[in-house]
Structure 1
Amino acid sequence: MLAALLFAGYAALSVSRHRRLQTSGYDLGIFEQAVRAYAWLRAPISPLKGPGFNLLGDHFHPILVTLAPMYRLFPSPITLQVAQAALLSCSAIPVTRLAIRVAGTVPGFVIGAGYGLSWGLQNAAGFDFHEICFAVPLLAFSLESLVRERWRAAVVWAAPLALVKEDMPITVAMIGIYLALHGRRRLGAAVTAAALAVVLLVIMVIIPALNPGGHFSYLSYAAGASQDPVTRLLTPSVKLHTLLLVLAPSALLALRSPIMIMALPTLAWRFWSNNPDHWRTNNHYSAVLMPVVFVAFVDGLARLRSRRPHLARPVTVAAATSCAMVTATLAPGLPLWDLTSVAWRPDPTATAARDVLRQIPDGAVVAADNWLAPQLTNRTTVYLFPQERAQGVRPEWIVTFAQPKAFPDPNLQAARLADLPAEGYTLVRQDDGVLLFRRTAGS
């Protein structure tokens, strides 16, 4: 029942944001272009990333092909959002089941609800679509199996993580180390060796082979190491704030469990990165940490109860209460809170934009503003405005806002907007700040 309620909440949040033009080409539109290509048995080319850009040369996420049959039946960005809601919500099943097994029905349900309403999952559900939604349930089921010493089941659940994103096999390697430390040395060594081999193959061979520049672009995030490693990992203070929020729902009990080693790869690459977006708590980056910290929380609680059996009940009640208090305290600032009011308010700009976009025929080639792109990717070929000109693309249609948005470059967007008449484009529709241009015949 908890998973069903979470699914309803996540899906309502995602769809309402899309209806209010709060989803973007980067990233919902990009992922829809890839899944749309898979659905019609083509390579995952994303024009929003650039002409002929194979998305497997950006990140390695072939698991997206599993969405193709559903998308073929329901070709819409909402299909991706609903799939993400389902994947995130079903991850609550193993976490809650384990919590009830350890703590009892009521405290276990409270901890499970704390997991489902955790800031990491909410931020993922509230920000477009990302392949990492596949990793969340796979990790949750795998870690539950580890705690229950179902070793082979843990490996079976963990194996598909190699198909989610190029960094996830390192987490699988940590699962192998956990197995080795718990007496399954041969199995653990095999899992670790295979996972590290996959990382090297993907980053050094597969992605460069498919990338237009012939390299793995995101290695640049590791550049610029001017300070010592400890300083780089722990400063600025926003990193410590993120780490504190990761651990807060568990009242630090997660630190009692060796399951927490599974969080190290994700925390390490994020805090080592020179991209400040990776350090913060917004977007989808912390989603994979939530099953780790909550399973570690439950495991840490079980270990404490076994060592202090006379304190088992008060410790359990205190842990569940702490989790509930953290959840309630953070709730007003998290995406699901929108469902209490703003998600249901009419949005005149969104209504006007959809009316304007209906003038663009199916199958057209369009350059669209980042916030309008995912409204079109299910039925047209969409490039990103204003970059499309530099990429050598001359679309028939251009749709954007009269007031440039912050992404990708408002100054460039304003300059291009002024140049469109000279480039042969005529304004054919304007409504509530949404502008639609069409290329003049022969221009």
Structure 2
Amino acid sequence: MAWYRRPALVPWAWAAALCLLYATVAVRRHLLMRTTGYDLGIFEQAVRAYADLRAPVVPLRGEGFNLLGDHFHPLLAALAPLYRLFPSPLTLLVAQSALLALGAVPLVRWAVRAVGPRGAHAVAVGYGLSWGIASAAAFDFHEVALAVPLLAFSLEALGRQRWRAAVAWATPLLLVKEDLGLTLAAVGVYVAVKARASRRDRNLGLAAVAAGLLGSYLEIKVLLPALDPTGGYAHGGQLAAAHGSLLGALAHAPLDLLRPETKATTLILAFAPSALLALRSPLALIALPTLGWRMASANGFHWGTAFHYSAVLMPVVIAGLLDVLGRETDRRSVRAALATVLAVTVVLLPSFPLAQLAQRATWHTTPHLEAARALLARIPDGATVAASNRLAPQLTSRCTVVLFPTFPVGGRLYEYRREDLPPPTAEWILHDPEAPEAWPYRRGHWPYPLAQQQAELKAARQTYGYEVVAVRDGITLLHRTPTGPRAS
């Protein structure tokens, strides 16, 4: 019997195929130098530190910067043994691909029961090619990849009314990111409401609510400020910034959900992979914490469909779809719904990153890339390097890397003043003036306009004693010996 007719093999076969698909996109992006120090390089430095049994101090974020003070994600340490065996940024990218693909297993397994083996293939396509998963798979590495399979297995358990398993799968979300305690609380609410026949299970749900809310509160109010260099929660001001206070932000939340129009578009697209049918399921409520903080944020990057922010929504949406279809008695309606899911997936696919595989540029190596690789090869292992954002993750596995130009003193990145920038201290500087291709945010030159980057490059030569080693296709490699001139 063919694998696609064996219900037990279907979920794992789809997970393997999706992993290969995601890894192909991610690895090609890295080979084309479309990955960046912010964020792949940052996470590699953190995992590399864990692999060396050190605290996740990340030079790209600043001297002595503990990444646990930015977001609370100690579960990243689970990747350290794998990185120890294969110390490369590709390890993180492939691991992320596998984690995102693993989320398909419980959902497709549920689909086999709810709509049959044939219908399960449609569900696998709907999840695997959904825009939220695609955006995460093709955008560096992020801790949210760890949350996707945990939430997917928890949702399957909810669908089977296995309340303790659902809570057990959702509880580690507290160790993935500080806001995911709210998602654990949402799972707890669902259990408490649905488990009417068992007082024990209702109490379990209430305990999950308390653990989720208390866990997020302690992480945001105690742990993150204790680890952050400034003594606060770095992202706490984003909810209050739009209206001057957290209370004002909450008061305006109903209107802010729909303005600007980017938010309304995202809310619709979030449920589009289910042909909007997930909105008929109470499981859709588990998406509210993630949607809520994103729409209430003053950070415009949180409102749209790019990046990794929507990855945790996709298992919820597909689970809601399965919940609805599993209760549908009219098989023709089920087939029509699955056909609509496939149609929506196909229509959205060209607008999101998996379509890069069909683009000629994805498989083409340019002279600029060859020049960059030649200069990267001239930097010895173990060196300290200040590198442009797109070149940083090419070095983080074998060098100590900081950003060039570096952050201003006090972290006022976008308030550039020459006197705010500390002098470069790295042995090497590698600067690429070309803006990254197909980079969905911070378009153009980052972290400073090109003219200011060139000014810093000039200062490195004329003021701080760096010498030009080579220039190829506009990329400049500088070096300073330990006995070279230093700024007074």
Note whether the superposition's TM-score is higher than 0.5: yes
SS across alignment from 1:48: helix
Is 1:438 paired with 2:479?
Answer: yes
User: Residue 201 of structure 1: CA displacement?
Assistant: 1.2
Q: Which amino acid aligns with 2:427?
A: E
Give the TM-score taking structure 2 as reference length: 0.87
In the alignment, what sits opposite 2:14? 2
SS across alignment from 1:63: helix
**CA distance in 2 between partners of 1:412 and 1:210 (Å):** 32
**CA distance in 1 between partners of 2:347 and 2:148 (Å):** 24
**CA distance in 2 between partners of 1:387 and 1:62 (Å):** 26
> Does the aligned pair in 2 maintain the 1:51–1:391 contact within 8 Å?
no
Is 1:384 paired with 2:403?
Answer: yes
In the alignment, what sits opposite 1:414? 454
> Does the aligned pair in 2 maintain the 1:239–1:280 contact within 8 Å?
yes
> Does the aligned pair in 1 maintain the 2:58–2:66 contact within 8 Å?
yes
Segment of structure 1 superposing worse, 269-278 or 344-353: 344-353
**CA distance in 1 between partners of 2:478 and 2:36 (Å):** 20
SS across alignment from 2:60: coil
User: Residue 344 of structure 1: CA displacement?
Assistant: 1.7
In the alignment, what sits opposite 2:425? 394
User: Residue 9 of structure 1: CA displacement?
Assistant: 0.7
User: Residue 104 of structure 1: CA displacement?
Assistant: 1.5
Q: Among 357, 361, 373, which residue is 1:354 paired with?
A: 373
Q: Among 416, 428, 431, which residue is 2:469 paired with?
A: 428
Q: Among 332, 337, 349, which residue is 2:355 paired with?
A: 337
Give the TM-score taking structure 1 as reference length: 0.96
User: Residue 414 of structure 1: CA displacement?
Assistant: 2.6
User: Residue 418 of structure 1: CA displacement?
Assistant: 2.7
> Does the aligned pair in 1 maintain the 2:270–2:313 contact within 8 Å?
yes
**CA distance in 1 between partners of 2:154 and 2:367 (Å):** 45
In the alignment, structure 1 segments of 5+ residues that lack a partner are none
**CA distance in 2 between partners of 1:155 and 1:403 (Å):** 48
In the alignment, what sits opposite 2:181? 169
Q: Among 184, 198, 201, which residue is 2:215 paired with?
A: 198
**CA distance in 1 between partners of 2:65 and 2:474 (Å):** 31
User: Residue 122 of structure 1: CA displacement?
Assistant: 0.6
SS across alignment from 1:366: strand
User: Residue 393 of structure 1: CA displacement?
Assistant: 4.6
**CA distance in 2 between partners of 1:131 and 1:225 (Å):** 27
Is 1:37 paired with 2:79?
Answer: no
1:285-324 equivalence runs, <5 A: 285-303=309-327, 305=328, 309=329, 312-324=330-342
1:51-130 equivalence runs, <5 A: 51-130=63-142
**CA distance in 2 between partners of 1:402 and 1:154 (Å):** 49
Q: Among 220, 243, 248, which residue is 2:267 paired with?
A: 243
In the alignment, what sits opposite 1:278? 302
> Does the aligned pair in 1 maintain the 2:424–2:460 contact within 8 Å?
no
Q: Which amino acid aligns with 1:377?
A: T
**CA distance in 2 between partners of 1:107 and 1:232 (Å):** 38
Residue deviations 1:127-182 (CA, integer Å, cap 9, x gap): 00000000000000000100111111111111111110000011000000001001
In the alignment, structure 2 segments of 5+ residues that lack a partner are 1-12, 196-200, 409-420, 436-443
> Does the aligned pair in 1 maintain the 2:257–2:264 contact within 8 Å?
no
Measured on the aligned residues, the alpha-carbon RMSD in Å equals 1.4
User: Residue 392 of structure 1: CA displacement?
Assistant: 5.4
Residue deviations 1:382-432 (CA, integer Å, cap 9, x gap): 011101673555111100114465211124313212322222111111112
**CA distance in 1 between partners of 2:366 and 2:81 (Å):** 32
